[in-house]
Amino acid sequence: MDWKLRRFGQAAFTVWAVMTLAFFLTRMMPGNPVDAFVAQVGPQLDNPQEAYEMAEIYMNINPEAPMHVAYWNYMTSMAVGDMGQSMSQNAPVAQIMAEAIPWTLFVMSWAIFIGFAVGISLGALMAYWEGTKFDTVLTGYATIITSIPFYVLALLLLITFAYRLGWFPTSGRRPEGVTAGFNLPFIFGIIHHAALPVFSMFVASGVASLTMRGNSIRVLGEDYLRVARLRGLPDRTIAVRYIARNAILPMYTGLMIAIGSMFGGAVVLEEIFTYRGMGYYMIQAVRARDYPLMMGAFTIITIAVVIALLVADLTYGKIDPRAGNEGNDAF
Amino acid sequence: MTITGSDATADAPEEDVAIRLRDTSVYFGMDRGRSMVLNGVDADIRRGEVLGVIGESGSGKSMFASALLDAVPEPGVTTGEVTYYPEEGEPVPVTDLSKAELRSLRWEEISMVFQGAMSSFNPVVTIRTHFVETLSAHDYDVDRGLARATDLLADLYLDPERMLESYPHELSGGMKQRVLIALSLVLDPEVLVMDEPTAALDLLMQRSIISLLEEIKEKHDLTIVFITHDLPLVADLADRLAVLYAFEFAEIGPAEEVLETPAHPYTRALLNATPNLSAPLEEMRPIEGESPDPVNIPKGCSYHPRCPLADEECQQIDPGPYDAGADHDVHCHHWEQSIEDLDVAFEETVDVGTRPSAAGRASGEPVVSLSDVEVTFGSANDGWFDFGDDETVTAVDGVSFDIYENDVLVLVGESGCGKTTLGKTAVGLQKPTGGTVEYRGRDVWEGASGSSLSDDEARRALQIVHQDPGSSLNSHQRVRTILEQPLKRWHPDLDGNDRRERILGMLEYVGITPPGDYVDRYPHQLSGGEKQRVALIRSMLINPDLILADEAVSALDVSLRVGMMDMMIDLQDSFNTSFLAVSHDLSNARYLAEKTGGRIGVMYLGELVEIGPAEQIIHDPQHPYTQALRWATPELGSETEETESPIRSIDIPDPKNPPSGCRYHTRCPEAREVCVEREPELVDVGEGASQPTACLRAQDDPDYRMSESITDDV
């Protein structure tokens, strides 16, 4: 219990530190966003002084207030979910994010799920047939696919299947002219639009399959496996309870990190497919020097990583008894 | 084996045989050729007996065990016959069974306990699951099976409920080993094959498990094949002993006969090479040479390259079993000569006498002096964002001793007692959290930052030889490079030729010849004994004052240990070095300490409980824990056999939470109420030489005399 509290404390501390850092960078860095904002907006206004007030509306930072007051105001508004106002989209940052995040989640979670599922299955088969042609060919394939950056694969897929063959849409996230809702054409349309982005993240399966192969081979050499065979356990029990479980366990943290970093990974992908998710808006924000939107996106990415790692830590003990719930009970 | 015994042809065994092996071989195909790891073995395992199989590492003993269940790991191939004779019914040809038939033979009829109990359990499921899945895989009634498991666990002095609910990592090594024994017996097999079941355990645990085995065997009517490298360990337990050498049986016969009148030269040499507590030191001799390579077994008798009696016949003809008495077969052409001549032959070469005792040397200035040293591991609560409790283990708790010039001190104790930590602290590799370590009167940690000594002189003077020579030598460097490094660092004035001369000289000195050939080898091209010698030279080359030998001989074969220890003693003499040795094995400790007139220090849960001259510690131990260690050290043919265990509980208390008062009171047979409350000081109770002991009883404390015993109500 103590350990869980401590872990929560660390997570909260990380989030707080990132927000604080964001505040001070925004406010104090030479050529910082607030100054830039004032310099950018000020001359266009009748009363340049209004620029300062606008800065507070957009970024929650009042450049004229004393530092501690500005900091307090910034942190309290962040705490209630007010991340300021986007300059380029002309809408509250929180609202843009809330609208974009589900799409990113949808694409990325499928990408991660399929990547890991395929990777683990292939890795298990490769280990089972270790040393055979199947293993050699697949290991080669996995090595190659791992070394291809996903955006290169994304471009190749886009050119081939969207532009040349026309099987998939070249951009967008939902079909045109279909009522949004729980109806078949709409669901099909969403999947149709998401297919290429999902499959370009397939490269992750390469790493997963190699890891799984290595882990499985290690487990295959363990004494307890030999004892289990001598004890006459059915092959299925050995495969599932002994090999698969022990081989997949070490990959769990990797999976959680992949989930945590999926918003970050979505940036380039969504840009390529003009898929209007979080990453897409982030690029837009950078292009338009839309600091509030950028800051909001960064903060959300940080929080996502922190939460994913927290979940990984807290649940690891549940799936691996050796880790224990106390964290330091293991050895 | 070309010549077979007279009775090998009969189909039905006239004696009550449980498993019969005929010309059984196991081989692995390798690039270098066929690796014969069991070479045409004949053996009968009789129903209801305990057959002790003794062999050094690489003698094929694990393959023998696996062959009994046809469980040789792939790609090994088993040939020849292995026949299992059930009590009722037809003989079962084990090597010809289908997969399904094997499945029902293993564990139901012939069961096995492996060497690595630590890793014999699936780490992610509970012990109960292990039992349940075994029972249901063999279509046994799970409830009745679990009831049986509960009985078995209780018989092994375990708490069944706790064990069943535990995960493997929650159990100590000794517990796991006992649970594994229970698991192997849960289907009520006829035969139990145990492959080094106690090798990884502490002395006390080893001995306790051996005693338990005797009870279990009686109760469940078992036939046990007990395979080990440790001859004295099975000496009491076994009815018959079989000695494996180079993948063949050298000798097989009734245990007493094999021990008292061994017929094979190897058995005789092995007995002489085994350190023990009672035999005179002069009779312990190492066996020259090394065990053969399985790819290239010598022609004729495989022992002939190491045998003092070898002649042409031995080089040409594989010796068949000769009858060396009733029921006693030996594979040696000259077994009669061996019985008559060999011991005498050995005695002639005796030349080492014991040296003056440490007491004489203790007068001078100590080289290293530890006072009230304390080492604590783990993190205390460090405040900020740390909501955890203190998680500290005190590995060493207030230990003081001095090491003099040319001195030998051996620390013994069970694993986790802090002996290695204390050793490392003494040579400045571990910073003490309390107390001081002084080298020639200077505090070695003074002015040191971080975890390394700032005093170059002290750093050079205090060296270490690790337990595992394989991992303490850089595998990517040649022997030359490994040995040059310390010279370059500490003797920069030497030029390349001088260095080379010095290295070659040292290698030759420790018997690695020709040295010119060895300096260009990589560590993996050396044998275990050679590696350990290189590691020893590496520390010797810089002329240290004190070497910590951390279990320096534990990883070596029995037949090489005495040789290695002789070498250490020899080097100590020539180089005027002191040794601080750490060992879990009282026999090794005795050999090293007694031969040099050194001392033995006994540690228990971070405290030094008794320290004194080797003879006194071995022959007149004062502390009950030392007495227990003495009991646990297996003896060859000693008549004064204590069968009663001198410890009240088998398992060591949790070092995170040591018992109050005298830490040994939870296991001590003499504990009284005062021991629970008062922590005994180290007080000299020796007659003659000094022998400080931390025991109220040994000190004849008045409080102890008045106090009530607590041994009955535990």
For chain A (length 331 residues), average pLDDT per consecutive 10? 78 88 75 71 70 72 74 82 78 85 85 88 88 88 85 86 83 72 78 84 81 89 87 88 88 81 80 85 82 82 84 79 52 31
Residues spanned by the domain of A295: 93-319
pLDDT tier, B383 (very low <50, low <70, confident <90, very high otherwise): very low
| pLDDT at B150 > cutoff 90 | yes
Looking at residue B133, its pLDDT comes to 92
The whole-angstrom distance between B453's CA and the closest CA on chain A is 29
pLDDT tier, B714 (very low <50, low <70, confident <90, very high otherwise): very low
Sheet holding B683-684, edge to edge: B462-465, B546-550, B578-583, B408-412, B599-604, B607-613, B692-693, B683-684
Looking at residue B193, its pLDDT comes to 92
pLDDT in tens, B349-362: 334 444 444 444 55
Q: Does A219 share its domain with A299? A: yes
pLDDT in tens, B436-488: 888 888 888 887 666 677 778 888 888 888 877 778 888 888 899 999 888 88
Tokens standing for B707? 């106090």
CB contact under 8 A, B388 and A222: no
B103 has a chain A CB within 8 A of its CB: yes
| pLDDT at B2 > cutoff 90 | no
State residue B52 phi and psi, 5-degree precision. Answer: -90, 125
Boundary-marking domain end, from A30, A57, A79: A79
User: What number is the average pLDDT over the span B72-82?
Assistant: 85
User: What number is the average pLDDT over the span B566-570?
Assistant: 87
Which sign does the torsion angle of CA A113, A118, A121, A126 carry? Answer: negative
Dist. CA B190–CA B197, nearest whole Å: 18
Contact B63, B37 (CB under 8 A): yes
| pLDDT at B225 > cutoff 90 | yes
Q: Does A25 share its domain with A142? A: no
Radius of gyration from C-alpha coordinates of chain A: 24
Looking at residue A240, its pLDDT comes to 86
Of B69, B125, B126, the CB nearest to A230: B69
User: What number is the average pLDDT over the span B56-66?
Assistant: 84
Residue whose token pair is 């009970």: A329
CATH number of residue A104's parent domain: 1.10.3720.10
A150: closest CA among A313, A264, A13, A276? A264
Of B73, B114, B387, the CB nearest to A9: B387
Q: Does A139 share its domain with A204? A: yes
Three-state DSSP class for residue B408: strand
The whole-angstrom distance between A238's CA and the closest CA on chain B is 10
Q: Does A75 share its domain with A97? A: no
The CATH class, in words, for B358-476+522-706 is alpha beta
Choose from B133, B171, B656 for mutation: most chain A CBs within 10 A.
Answer: B133
| pLDDT at B192 > cutoff 90 | yes
Q: Does A280 share its domain with A314? A: yes
Dist. CA A301–CA A17, nearest whole Å: 14
Write the Ramachandran bin of A166: left for phi over 0, alpha for psi from -120 to 50, otherwise beta: left
pLDDT tier, B647 (very low <50, low <70, confident <90, very high otherwise): confident
Contact A109, A95 (CB under 8 A): no
Residue type, B294: P
pLDDT in tens, B458-470: 888 888 888 777 7
Q: What is the DSSP string of A106-118?
A: HHHHHHHHHHHHH
For A245, half-sphere exposure in the C-beta direction (CA atoms, 13 angstrom radius) is 16
Residue whose token pair is 């139901």: B108
Q: Does A21 share its domain with A61? A: yes
Boundary-marking domain end, from A22, A51, A79: A79
Looking at residue A324, its pLDDT comes to 56
Query: Does A311 fall in a domain?
Result: yes
Residue type, B316: Q
pLDDT in tens, B250-307: 889 998 888 888 888 888 888 888 777 777 777 777 777 777 777 778 888 888 888 8
Contact B445, B432 (CB under 8 A): yes
Give chain B's mean pLDDT. 82
Residue whose token pair is 């079993």: B321
pLDDT in tens, A66-77: 778 878 888 888
CB contact under 8 A, B104 and A227: no
Residue type, A208: A
Choose from B104, B108, B120, B130 for mutation: most chain A CBs within 10 A.
Answer: B120
| pLDDT at B386 > cutoff 50 | no
| Domains held by chain A: number | 2
For B234, half-sphere exposure in the C-beta direction (CA atoms, 13 angstrom radius) is 31
Domain chopping of chain B, boundaries = 262-351, 358-476+522-706
Q: Does A225 share its domain with A142? A: yes
Q: Does A137 share its domain with A268? A: yes
Tokens standing for B223? 């036939």
Query: Does A84 fall in a domain?
Result: no
Q: Does A164 share its domain with A67? A: no
Contact B265, B342 (CB under 8 A): yes
Q: Does A58 share its domain with A105? A: no
Looking at residue B363, its pLDDT comes to 57
Q: Does A143 share its domain with A291? A: yes
Q: What is the DSSP string of A190-240?
A: HHHHHHHHHHHGGGHHHHHHHHHHHHHHHHHTSHHHHHHHHTT--HHHIII
Looking at residue B289, its pLDDT comes to 73
Tokens standing for A295? 């800051």
CA–CA distances in Å: residue B216 to residues A25, B181, B223, B449: 73, 10, 11, 56
Measured between beta carbons, the chain B residues lying within 8 angstroms of A234 are 137
Peptide bond between residue B262 and the one before it cis (omega within 30 degrees of 0) = no
Among A46-55, B19-28, B521-530, B659-668, the least confident range: A46-55
Three-state DSSP class for residue B223: strand
Three-state DSSP class for residue B504: helix
Boundary-marking domain end, from A79, A104, A132: A79
Looking at residue B688, its pLDDT comes to 67
Looking at residue B390, its pLDDT comes to 54
